[in-house]
């Protein structure tokens, strides 16, 4: 059984702010995202258990939402062409300690809240920056996502996240919350000694038990990249 870890590290052309999020088409942001990817990749090599192969999507995209839509189809195709397990990681995520994921879950998995934690559709709205596609996903769950993807709106920032939440919550998952596998560090770059405690309370998980941290590069790509580099050095991760 193949295990794949997938990242996206591609050139994004957008240069204007949209959805209240800074663009990432300028040279500084592009360099920052490439740095984040290299750290994420290096942390997986050091800490992710099991035999796995990497796949990196590199095709350029006009915007991030176009990239999300393309990734949906790419991952669909990979999963359906052979029996496999897939772990997808946003470039602004990194492993902090030895971690086992492959073989742990039978359902399609998201792991932790996004910010904000709920919306009109979901009382618990989960982040899609780390997601796991085991080979045992029921085809009807895939088809739920496929039907939603037919009406994909590029005017909705979190369209893919809405699709993945619908897929996730339509399953019978008895232990849905695993914040240690997608610990949200939305504002962890702020130089405030209370930031860690605030984040631990928000995630309902101490950083000492966290395996994968998600530091939200879209909020400040250059600062986030430097944070990841600094953390990699502390952990002995080769980048």
Interatomic CA distance for residues 107 and 135, integer angstroms: 9
Q: Which two tokens stand for residue 206?
A: 């101490």
* Contacts with 159 (C-beta within 8 Å, 6 or more apart), sequence order: 65, 68, 69, 152, 153
Question: Which tens digits make up the pLDDT trace of 52-96?
Answer: 999 999 999 999 999 999 999 999 999 999 999 999 999 999 999
For residue 176, pLDDT over 60 is answered with: yes
Least confident of 27-36, 75-84, 104-113: 27-36
Residue 186: alpha-carbon gap to chain centroid: 13
Q: Which domains does the chain have, with CATH numbers?
A: 2-235 (3.90.550.10)
pLDDT at 223: 87
Least confident range from 24-38, 51-65, 162-176: namely 24-38
Secondary structure in 3-state letters for 83-150: CEEEEEECCCEEECCCECCCCCCCCCECCCECCCCCCCCCCCCECCCEEEECCCCCHHHHHHHHHHHC
Asked if the model's pLDDT at residue 205 lies above 80, the reply is yes
**Residue 217 pLDDT grade (very low, low, confident, very high; cuts 50, 70, 90):** confident
Integer Cα distance of 151 and 137 in angstroms: 22
pLDDT confidence of residue 26: 87
Which of 141-155, 191-205, 212-226 shows the highest mean pLDDT? Answer: 141-155
Phi, psi values for residue 194, rounded to 5°: -85, -10
Check residue 61 and give its pLDDT.
96
pLDDT at 103 over 80: yes
Q: In angstroms, rounded to a whole number, what is the distance separating the alpha carbons of residues 155 and 186?
A: 23
Q: Confidence class of residue 174 from pLDDT cuts 50, 70 and 90?
A: very high
Identify the band that residue 19 occupies on the pLDDT scale cut at 50, 70 and 90.
confident
- Higher pLDDT residue, 227 or 5? 5
Q: Quick check: 44 and 95 in contact, CB under 8 A? A: yes
Q: What average pLDDT does range 99-109 have in this prediction?
A: 98
Which pLDDT belongs to residue 191? 54
Q: Which residues does residue 130 pair with via DSSP β-bridges, in sequence order?
A: 89
In contact, 171 and 107? CB cutoff 8 Å? yes
Q: How high is the pLDDT of residue 210? A: 97
Q: Calculate ∠ Cα 15-93-12, nearest 5°.
A: 20
Task: Give dist(CA 54, CA 37) in Å, integer.
Answer: 12
Residue linked to tokens 């910010």: 115
Q: Residue 116, preceding bond cis, omega within 30 degrees? A: yes
Higher pLDDT, 3 or 19: 3
**What is the distance of C-alpha 47 from the center of its chain?**
17
């Amino acid at each position: 059984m193949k295990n794949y870890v997938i990242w996206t590290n591609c050139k994004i052309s957008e240069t204007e702010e949209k959805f209240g999020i800074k663009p990432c088409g300028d040279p500084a942001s592009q360099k920052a995202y490439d740095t984040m990817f290299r750290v994420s990749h290096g942390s997986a090599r050091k800490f992710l258990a099991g035999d796995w192969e990497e796949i990196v999507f590199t095709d350029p995209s006009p915007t991030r939402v176009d990239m999300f839509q393309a990734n949906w189809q790419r991952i669909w195709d990979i999963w359906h062409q052979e029996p496999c397990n897939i772990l997808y990681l946003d470039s602004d995520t990194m492993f902090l300690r030895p971690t086992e994921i492959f073989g742990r879950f039978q359902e399609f998995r998201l792991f932790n809240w996004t910010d904000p934690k709920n919306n009109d559709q979901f009382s618990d709205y989960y982040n899609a920056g780390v997601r796991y596609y085991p080979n045992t996903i029921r085809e009807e769950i895939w088809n739920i996502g496929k039907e939603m993807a037919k009406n994909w709106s590029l005017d909705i920032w979190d369209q893919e996240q809405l699709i993945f939440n619908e897929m996730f919550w339509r399953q019978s998952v008895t232990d849905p919350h695993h914040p240690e596998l997608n610990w949200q560090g939305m504002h962890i770059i702020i130089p405030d000694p209370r930031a860690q405690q605030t984040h631990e309370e928000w995630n309902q998980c101490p950083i000492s038990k966290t395996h994968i941290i998600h530091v939200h590069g879209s909020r400040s790509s250059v600062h986030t990249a430097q944070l990841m580099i600094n953390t990699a050095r502390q952990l002995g991760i080769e980048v």
